[in-house]
Amino acid sequence: MLRPVCGRCERSFFTPQVVCPLCGSGQWTYEPSEGRGAVYSFTVVHRPPEPAFEAPYTLAIVDVAEGWHLLTWIVDCPPDEVRIGMEVQVRFVAGPDGALLPAFAPRATAHGPAGAAA
């Protein structure tokens, strides 16, 4: 998983922008993320926006280790077991159109048989 990093203040930010939202520098590059984080907040969706999404599913804001937040899915974990502060690891899953999207799984299961973490 890649993240934008400012060349001046060296902070990570998301989403990619023309200039760093923290210091205004136009000099930034993509750098690899460790793909680790913790659940900052979450909600369980019971009525999906379209039939391609199977409900219930968990949407979460993950506080990524490098200091940025990402709105994503929590996978390989029943919705009633998700907890704020739970340690998670990125895992790429196929979206409704087949594109690979970053989701997060509890760190203990991120390397399970259903797929490997990136």
Beta-sheet strands, E only, within the chain: 2-6, 28-32, 36-45, 57-64, 68-74, 87-94, 100-106
pLDDT, tens only, 73-116 = 999 999 999 999 999 999 999 987 889 999 999 997 555 544 44
> What's the pLDDT at 96?
79
> What's the pLDDT at 44?
97
pTM, two decimals, is: 0.80
Token pair, residue 82, equals: 């998700």
Q: Domain extents for the chain?
A: 1-32, 34-109
CATH number of the structural domain 34-109: 2.40.50
> What's the pLDDT at 118?
40
Mean pLDDT computed over 49-70: 91
Mean pLDDT computed over 48-72: 91
pLDDT, averaged across the chain: 89
